[in-house]
Structure 1
Amino acid sequence: DGFDDTAILEVSQTYAGMSSGCTALEAAVLAGQVDAGANPLMEWCVGNVVVQRDGKDNIYPVKRKSRGRIDPVVALAIAWNLAIRTPPEVVADDPDLVVV
């Protein structure tokens, strides 16, 4: 019936809070590891994003123009941030676990 406190993770939408996820996402995109599936909305939003740096070299996605939308890119950066800081749980005694 809902979420407990352990199921909710916070990502602060500040330069410091977003930078590690943005940096890792940018590296994955440049390495060709991210495929948006030729999604026209994502392509449009990516075209609206510029990276802004603060005085500590943290990066944050911002709009190129005030009318542009970047929400899916920000959502992806937040998800990427959570993915890199939350290692997947591996259950060694899982009968469905296959190691290749």
Structure 2
Amino acid sequence: MNQPLDTPPPWRTTGAHTASHGRCPAAAAKDPTPCEGPRDAATIVDRHGRESAGCVHHCARLLAGLEGARVHPFVPAPQALDIYSRARELPPFAWEIGR
């Protein structure tokens, strides 16, 4: 893993904008996995208060790699629990080891 956990991902504005290749803004540029579900299903807030909206899959991967990050409090409980459960099982920057 070549990235320290303190290095924030490139943040994009939340809203109607989507990442390149039609993926959600929470998807890291080097993460090859496709989105799962709506691209604005949840929002992750880092420890500095910056927000990034995305699908449940990429929000979980982002949460796993950011120290002090959390799911936005307005995200419905089922999605928030799914994100926390998935993130708990992932290493930081899971795409670097093929997960």
**Larger relative CO (CA 8 A, sep 6+): 1 or 2?**
1
TM-score greater than 0.5 by the shorter chain: no
Larger proportion of helix: 1
The structure with more radius of gyration: 1
